[in-house]
Amino acid sequence: MATTIYKSKVVYLFDGTELEIIPLKIKYLREFMLVFDDIKNTKNDDEAVQVLVRCVRVCMKQYYPKISNSIEEVEDNVDMPTIYDILDVAAGIRINKKSEEPVKDQAIDSGQTWENLDLAKLESEVFLLGIWKDYQELESSLSMPELMATLEVSRELDYTEKKFLAAIQGVDLDGETNKDKGQKEWEDMKARVFSKGKTIDSNDILALQGPNAQKAGFGIGMGLDYEDLTK
């Protein structure tokens, strides 16, 4: 079965211009998150929406630089449903305009967080592949889903090579508990990333999102949904 690393969506500007929206490259996601953090200090939906519009302006640096110079250019070219679609795909921020929950609360609950993620360590591991000349080029090339997928394949290939070399010497790495422990830690970290900090356990249903859902063949956004009973 064919799988994808991330979802994409086509949106249209007021003038009919077609834009394909994919997850933000890390370079722009960094700037996006700095702006998005301001939503914590908003007092009402109007202020929260203004922060989200500023976030979309950052997104346009990747998708359509022509209208990324000012908030006014964004507001002159996209409506609110389109803004919500862009935020969902670009950074996983989901806003339901029909919900009675404040926009601020919806955004914070669904938005990405790097508070518990050592991004520098993850980038350093990928950088060792020798594909990029510097970290700036790496962050301009990869989004978070792409970074995580690349890391997963890299680690699998590295383990396969070590397993082969060990087998030549009569050692069965599959029997080593450290491998299982390391794999569980890796799966738990992916769960934290794709659930946007809502779970740290790869066995939690919230971990079945993004590439994890694609790999399993089902999950949240792929025929499975859930209700947050803590609210």
Q: Could you tell me the CA-to-CA distances from 103 to 10, 47, 97, 155, 203 in Å, in that order? A: 23, 10, 8, 39, 30
Task: Report the alpha-carbon distance of residue 24 to residue 35 in Å, rounded.
Answer: 14
Residue 36 placed within a domain: yes
Contacts of 86 (CB under 8 A, 6+ apart): 11, 21, 56, 59, 63, 78
> How far is it, in rounded angstroms, from Cα 191 to Cα 182?
14
Whether 44 is covered by a domain: the verdict is yes
* Spatial CA neighbour of 139 closest among 35, 25, 58, 60: 25
**Per residue in 166-221, pLDDT tens?**
777 766 666 655 555 566 666 766 666 666 656 656 555 555 565 555 555 444 45
Q: Which residue has the tokens 């700095």?
A: 34
Residues 133, 72: one domain? no
Say if residue 96 is in the same domain as residue 18: yes
H runs (alpha helix) in 64-176? 71-75, 80-91, 103-110, 119-127, 135-141, 144-168
* Domain count across the chain: 2
Look up tokens 């389109």; give the residue. Answer: 82
pLDDT at residue 162, rounded to an integer? 76
Of 110, 136, 169, at which residue does a domain stop? 110
Q: Could you list the residue range(s) of the whole structural domain that residue 126 is in?
A: 119-224
Which pLDDT score, from 0 to 100, does residue 6 have?
85
pLDDT at 224: 46
Task: Give the angle 92-11-86 at the CA atoms, nearest 5°.
Answer: 20
Whether residue 125 is found in the same domain as residue 185? yes
> 54 falls in which pLDDT band (50, 70, 90)?
very high
